[in-house]
C-alpha cells in the first residue's frame, strides 16, 4: 500500500528519493545525447564553419599590393597629398605574374583602372 501522508518522500526501487533519482537519470540522458551528436557538431564545424571563416578572412586580407609594390606602401605612409608624386614602380615590378594579379585585383575593385596603369607604364 502507498503511504499517502504529506510528509512522506517517494522512493525509487533502489531506495533513493525519487526526485534525486529522476534528476540523475535526466542528466545521464543529456550527456548521452550530447556525446551522440558531438561527431556531427565536429563535422559541421570542420566542413562548413571553418571554410566560411577562412573565406571571410581572405576577403579582407589584401597583401598583393604590399608584395607587388613595396615602395608604394612605404611611400603612402609619408605621402604629401599636395605634391602629387607617386613612386614609379609600375615598370620595375619584381614579377610580371604579380603585376598581372595586381592589375586583375584592381580591375575587380574599380572598373577601368587597369587601362590607366597601362597608360602610366607607357609614359
Place of cell 528519493: 17
- Contact predicate 72/87, CB 8 Å: yes
pLDDT in tens, 16-56: 898 999 999 999 999 999 999 999 999 999 999 999 998 88
Three-state DSSP class for residue 72? helix
Whether the Cβ atoms of residue 87 and residue 71 lie closer than 8 Å to each other: yes
pTM of this prediction exceeds 0.85:
no
Q: Residues 96-108: pLDDT tens digits?
A: 666 677 777 777 7
Q: 53-75: per-residue pLDDT in tens?
A: 988 888 777 677 677 667 767 76
Q: Domain map of the chain by residue range?
A: 15-61, 64-122
Share of the chain above pLDDT 90, in %: 26
Rounded to 5 degrees, φ, ψ at 42 are -65, -40
What band does 113 get if pLDDT is binned at 50, 70 and 90? Answer: low
Dihedral in degrees, nearest 10, Cα atoms 81, 82, 88, 93 = 10
Instruction: Give the residue among 59, 118, 113, 112 at the shortest CA–CA distance from 93.
Output: 118
Amino acid at each position: 500500500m502507498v503511504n499517502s501522508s504529506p510528509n512522506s518522500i517517494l522512493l525509487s526501487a533502489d531506495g533513493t528519493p525519487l526526485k534525486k533519482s529522476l534528476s540523475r537519470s535526466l542528466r545521464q540522458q543529456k550527456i548521452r545525447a550530447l556525446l551522440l551528436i558531438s561527431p556531427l557538431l565536429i563535422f559541421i564545424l570542420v566542413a562548413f564553419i571553418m571554410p566560411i571563416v577562412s573565406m571571410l578572412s581572405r576577403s579582407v586580407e589584401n597583401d598583393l599590393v604590399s608584395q607587388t609594390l613595396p615602395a608604394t606602401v612605404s611611400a603612402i605612409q609619408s605621402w604629401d597629398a599636395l605634391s602629387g608624386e607617386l613612386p614609379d614602380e609600375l615598370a620595375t615590378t619584381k614579377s610580371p605574374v604579380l603585376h598581372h594579379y595586381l592589375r586583375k585585383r584592381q580591375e575587380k575593385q574599380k572598373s577601368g583602372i587597369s587601362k590607366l596603369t597601362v597608360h602610366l607604364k607607357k609614359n
